Amino acid sequence: MKALPSIRSIGKILQSDRRATPSKPLSWDPDPVVIDCAGYIDGTRLDLPHDPEIALATVREQGRGFVWVGLHEPSAENMEEMARIFGLHELAVEDAVVAHQRPKMERYENHLFFVIKTVKYEEHESSRTAIEIVSTGEIMVFLGVDFIITVRHGQHSGLGDLRHLLEGRPDHLASGPAVVLHQITDMVVDRYLDVVDLVEDDVDDMETAVFSVDSGVGIEQIYLLKREILELRRAVTPLAIPLRRLSEINSPHTTFVPAKVREYFRDVEDHLTQVSERIATYDEILTTLVNASLAEIATRQNNDMRKISAWAAIALVPTAIAGIYGMNFDYMPELSWHFGYPMVIAVIVGVCLLLHRGLRKRGWL
């Protein structure tokens, strides 16, 4: 089996392919839920109606090939029809309709159910003002021996370009529907890499802002970015276990994933590990920034308290002296002395100046 094409080359390949061969007009009225449906034998797309049942019957009659059905946010009725045609398990069908699942892989009698989170970087002016940096979607895959059903949730995880690319390489599609699953996971993980590259700039920007002289960055802003990192982490990290299970040499899923395809999942798993490690690093950096901000706030509060205490000590001197001479006793020193009042004022001012000088020298003022 030849090496499977990298998704990073899709753009250039598709541009050249589209210039060479214009899109063939569809002879059927496309369903807004069933984005595309096709049967493939020896990697070549069959000229069949846009009907999953007809496509599956044709493939099984030939005894080779597979069917690829692409759905977008199907209803319960849509998925019940798919379950009837392909024999899908009701629990997996329910998950495909409800969505909001964590990345996972479940095995049923005649198919695997695979959930992948897709991510998209949301453009924004600054990480210090952005509310949302990463948005997520889902791709759910039903993988059987002779069929693959992809269910998309969200607007940024289209598989049309991927189908176009694979249809231009029938030698890869001839290996079966597991190749499609590999290419989907490879595409999604490559997009993870693109997103973490962009998120790294936001983390660096936040780090620079926190340690600048006039940062003006609050803990709330750091937490908002940390929340986006955690959302990215929840999308990426759980995918490692399903990919590892698919890439195992003695995998129990050989019925659905042939050995010659399984080895390619190890490469995807390796890329996913890189993404997970980078996300963990960003999370640690933001945790450090939160701690640094808290320490800065505590230091600033400590300085404020020292200044308040210093001024309170200075104010205590005139308060104490004025309190003594306000007791209204008949016989008190300097009450009848002509220079008594100026002397008391001079003592107050002198002591206050000495206190101010001493506290300022110690850095309290």
Q: Measured between alpha carbons, how far is 35 from 150 in angstroms, rounded to an integer?
A: 10
The CA-based dihedral angle spanning residues 208, 211, 214, 216, taken in that order and rounded to the nearest 10 degrees:
80
DSSP state at residue 238 = G
- Strands 66-72, 34-41: pairing is antiparallel
Domain 7-296 matches domain 297-361 at the CATH topology level: no
Q: Is the pLDDT of residue 116 over 50?
A: yes
Nearest to residue 182, comparing CAs of 191, 195, 192, 173?
173
Tell me the pLDDT of the chain averaged across its residues.
Answer: 82
- State mean pLDDT over 39-53: 90
| Residue 257 φ then ψ, to 5° | -125, 105
For the segment 65-95, what is each residue's pLDDT rounded down to a tens digit?
999 999 998 999 999 999 999 999 999 999 9
Structure-token match 């340690």, residue found: 211
Tokens of 264: 């390619």
CA dihedral 50, 56, 57, 58 (to 10 degrees): 70
As beta bridge partners, residue 8 has none
Q: How many CB atoms lie within 10 A of CB 125?
A: 7
Q: Which residues contact 25 (CB under 8 A, 6 or more apart)?
A: none
Residue 143 phi/psi, 5-degree rounding, is -115, 115
Which residues touch 165 (CB under 8 Å, ≥6 apart)?
5, 10, 13, 14, 17, 183
The architecture that CATH gives domain 7-296 is 2-Layer Sandwich (3.30)
Written as six digits, the tokens of 225 are 């970015």
Residue range 189-226, pLDDT digits in tens: 999 999 999 998 888 888 887 777 666 677 788 888 88
pLDDT in tens, 267-317: 999 999 999 999 999 999 888 888 887 777 777 777 778 778 888 887 888
Instruction: Spell out the domain ranges in the chain.
Output: 7-296, 297-361
Q: Supply the pLDDT for residue 115.
A: 94
Q: What is the pTM of this model?
A: 0.74
- What distance in Å separates the CA atoms of residue 114 and residue 105, rounded to the nearest whole number? 4
What confidence tens digit (pLDDT) does each residue in 122-157 have? 887 776 667 788 888 999 999 999 999 999 988 777
CA dihedral sign, ordered 48, 54, 58, 60 = positive
- Judge contact between 154 and 118, C-beta under 8 A: yes
User: Is the pLDDT assigned to residue 25 strictly greater than 60?
Assistant: no
Proportion of the chain above pLDDT 90, given as a percent: 36
Task: State which CATH number among 1.10.3720.10, 3.30.360.10, 1.20.58.340, 3.30.260.10 fits the domain covering 297-361.
Answer: 1.20.58.340
- Taken as a whole, the chain contains a residue count of 365
Q: Report the amino acid identity of residue 55.
A: A
Sign of CA dihedral 85, 89, 90, 93: negative
Radius of gyration of the chain (CA): 35
